[in-house]
Structure 1
Amino acid sequence: MSDRRVFRWATTSARLLIGTAVSVLAVVAVVTAVSVPWPTVVREPLSVPATPAPAASVLACDGGLLTIGRNPTAASTVTLAAPQSVVGGTADGGGAAEQQLMTTGVGPGPLAYTAQPNGDQRVDIAATGAATANADDLSGFAASACRPPLLDSWLVGGSAATGAADLVLLANPGAVPATVQLTVYGVDGPETPLGGTDLVIAPGTQRVVPLAGLALGEETPVVRVSAVGAPIHASLQASITRTLTPGGVDQVGPIAHTENRQVITGITVTRPTDADGAANETTVLRMLSPSLPATARVSVTSAGRTDPIGEAQEVSLEAGKPLELALSGLTPGAYTVTVDSDAPAVAAVWQATGVSEGDDFAWYTPAPEVAVPSLFATPGGPTPSLTVVNPTDEPVTVDVTPTDGDSALNLTVPANGSVAVRLATRSLYVLDPHAPVRAGLSFTGDGALAGVPVWPADVVTPEIVVYP
């Protein structure tokens, strides 16, 4: 072997050895890198907290009681049957700007209120109206709270069957037109009738839509109100005539959104619910799960008690189809109905003083959770009763303070219980809970029945975080 060959062989061998060593070292390095934590550099994204400028607080009322068909030559004409008396104001006593909306085809309509921000804080505003009708075609007492306009809301109540003359009321207190779609849920599921499609509500106006024109013959309707362009205040005027005798009237407020738990409080039973037999039930719960099949668990609790009355009832809800459940066996008193469902739902309770001449009825809608000091108003009429429900497992202290300087009521609501107190009419109060509660007003008198839930204040503009 020549020296050159020896040199080439040695060189090649050395290269192979070096390559093998480098490969082994690379494998060891990779394995070590994977198994051993590497140092990391954590850098939080740049964020800037900011509070948006507060907006004005706006409320719209339902207006007076209306009737349809009084003019025999124009049966579809709507006329004013009884004006509405409204009590309203702000928590600081500064007042609010008042505007009267125009009801299309009728004339002067409901009131609307606007309170401008106080510095960097929105102003809490509340108003509640009441009206009494006493005529051959319309009779009864109605009370309703003026509410902020919404882009989406639900109306649970009323009927389009024979004897009912129910009206859907759509008010636009804003400065731009709103386009509204009405979806009616009934025995055949959800439908958008031609009369509820692309309804234009002009600024500063209220529009009246007969419920029978949307779902003729439907006995248990639920109406979803969807608006674009501007939020609107939706409500329902429900009335009934049995043969030739008016059987009551009510103004049913909106439900802001579906929930898995509905708490309906302040329901006032004036006579045993089974006194007239099964054919004339006077306490009925209406429920709807709009999108999904659900199982609902219904419990009834007497005011001032913590234990439900009897066993809770479980019912199956078919998606998109309302269901009614008669609540029988109740003695005179005040009650809370709780509906727990495994899918978001809406619900309301129909309660009547009876089914004879001179009787009245009310639709009680759910009371949302109140966790901040919130203003509410009591209108003229029967003495109001406030029911406060504590859904927690610990007692809750609640202060109810009149804004006129009178002494506050200091309530202790037991765990999973409720407390009912009487308040003055035509007054403003601040409900200040030390933990979240639900509350509702009820009005009971001779031939008069109504209920209004207390909504939480919308005065705190939430802080937002901006990521540049």
Structure 2
Amino acid sequence: MSDRRVFRWATTSARLLAGTIVSAVAVIAVVTAVSVPWPTLTRTPVSIAAVPAPATSVAACAGGVLSIGRDVADVESISVAVAQRVISGVSEGAQPAQETTLEVPGLAPDEGPAVFASPPEGRQRVDVAATGAATVTADDLAGFAASACRPPLLESWLVGGSAETGAADLVLLSNPGVVPATVQLTVFGAEGAQTPPGGTDLVVAAGTQLVVPLAGLVIGEASPVVRVSAVGAPVSAWLQASITRTLTPGGVEQVGAIPEPAAAQTITGVAVTRTPGTEGASDAATVLRVLAPSSDATATITVTPIGRDEPAIDPEVVPLVGGRPVEVDLGGLPVGSYSVEVDADSPVVAAVWQTTGFEEGDDFAWYTPSPLVSVPSLFAVPSGPPPALTLVNPADEPAEVAVTSEDGSYRLELAVPANGSLTARLSARTVYLLDPGESEIRASLSLTAGGSLAGIPVWPADAASPEIVVYP
């Protein structure tokens, strides 16, 4: 081997050794870099938390009891059979609510329903509550009707009434806003959901109430449920229900709307005032109407006396066909006050029809579900029969509830047992604050005396505007 070849071999070996050492050092450096924490720079994004200014609180009323067809020259004309007497109030220390009157086509300017509005004060929401009542005695209408004034909604549900012979039911649509609303009425009945021509693209002008005869939508339907869908502006909806049996008026009611379907519906304070008739009687005094609007479902119906733990009758399991209302006879209940619970495996809407009897001078009421109240909420008690407040506690812990009159002169503290209920007597023509404390409670008003009957659920106050976070 020559000196040149020896030198070339030596230099090559040196380069290989150096490369191997460099590679090993690189591997060690990478492993070390991965395993050893590197210094980091953390910067919190700039954010601004703000609470939007609350909106004006609005409560629109149903208005007086209406009669249709009294003018023989215009059988479709409406008139006010009796005006509504309204009680209203606002949050403690706030200015009185601003009262206006909606216009109703065919009625005098001062005959429309009232609207109460309370703007915020000092960026604080002002709650407003109002309730109206009317007693009518006439050849074509008779009975006691009471209903709470409600905020407008983009969608609501009316469960009650009939379009059969003898019924003269009216859908009332109020727009207390400043822009027109376009409303679609979808009627659910024996044939499923229908959008009749008379309920399509109804324009409710700002500051007006539109009256739509239910029979003009689905004549002959025995158990309708109406979905009210609005665009452009929300509307407040009611159903005025009345019945005449062989020329004898059998009662009148203003049925309030249900905000949305839910898998669990609780109807509280159902007042049974009539001793059950003989077994097999054709007329049912207590009837539940329930609808699963979207899909087939199974519902369990439980009726429990207020103040008791055990059901009054065995729970009943009812199959529901999507889009078709079902009526369940709850007859046989002794005189007393009850809570009716509907538990389904899909969202439903429901209401209970109760009557004092089927003779002249009797009345009926539609009881709608009571939503959960978790914040201090105002409610107004109208004039009429002695009012009773029913409280239902769905929780496993007792609820401490306070009921205070608007002027602070009366305060009632109630302990509602876990999974229990109770009833308390209140005064008519008074505004109260219901404070559930740390609990959630369901509440309703029942007004009954003689042949008069009405029920009004207590709704929670509008939720305050939540805090929002802005990232500039």
- TM-score > 0.5, shorter chain as reference: yes
Match of 1:398 in 2: 401
Q: Within 5 A, what are the aligned runs for 1:147-296?
A: 147-275=150-278, 277-296=280-299
Q: Deviation at 1:39?
A: 8.3
Letter in 2 for 1:302: P
Match of 1:73 in 2: 73
The CA deviation string for residues 241-289 of structure 1, in whole angstroms up to 9 with x for no partner, is: 1221111110000111222211111110011344474420011111112
Normalising by structure 1, report the TM-score: 0.93
The CA deviation string for residues 60-97 of structure 1, in whole angstroms up to 9 with x for no partner, is: 00001111122222221112111111011113263111
Match of 2:390 in 1: 387
Letter in 2 for 1:437: I
Unaligned ranges ≥5, structure 1: none
* Deviates further, 288-297 or 433-442: 288-297
Letter in 1 for 2:301: V
Match of 2:316 in 1: 313
1:104 aligns with 2:105: yes
CA distance in 1, matches of 2:189, 2:104: 28
Distance 1:202 1:303, change over 3 A: same
Match of 1:462 in 2: 466
Letter in 2 for 1:357: E
Match of 2:451 in 1: 447
Distance 1:26 1:183, change over 3 A: farther
Q: Deviation at 1:160?
A: 1.2
1:117 aligns with 2:120: yes
State how many pairs are aligned: 468
Distance 1:242 1:397, change over 3 A: same
Match of 2:55 in 1: 55
CA distance in 1, matches of 2:34, 2:275: 76
The CA deviation string for residues 293-313 of structure 1, in whole angstroms up to 9 with x for no partner, is: 222111111111122223321
Distance 1:40 1:271, change over 3 A: farther
CA distance in 2, matches of 1:103, 1:134: 23
Task: From 426, 438, 443, give the equivalent of 2:442.
Answer: 438
Letter in 2 for 1:401: T
SS in 1 for 2:215: helix
Aligned partners of 1:273 and 1:283 also within 8 Å: no
SS in 1 for 2:102: strand
Letter in 1 for 2:324: K
1:82 aligns with 2:85: no
SS in 2 for 1:52: coil
Distance 1:48 1:13, change over 3 A: same
CA distance in 2, matches of 1:14, 1:83: 111
Match of 2:366 in 1: 363
> What is the aligned-residue RMSD (CA, Å)?
2.4
* Deviates further, 188-197 or 143-152: 188-197
The CA deviation string for residues 80-138 of structure 1, in whole angstroms up to 9 with x for no partner, is: 11111101111326311100111122233100001111212111111000011111111
Q: Deviation at 1:402?
A: 1.0
Normalising by structure 2, report the TM-score: 0.92
Aligned partners of 1:121 and 1:461 also within 8 Å: no
Distance 1:22 1:429, change over 3 A: same
Q: Deviation at 1:6?
A: 6.0
Aligned partners of 2:391 and 2:441 also within 8 Å: yes
SS in 2 for 1:103: coil
Q: Deviation at 1:329?
A: 1.9
Aligned partners of 2:61 and 2:150 also within 8 Å: yes
Match of 1:325 in 2: 328
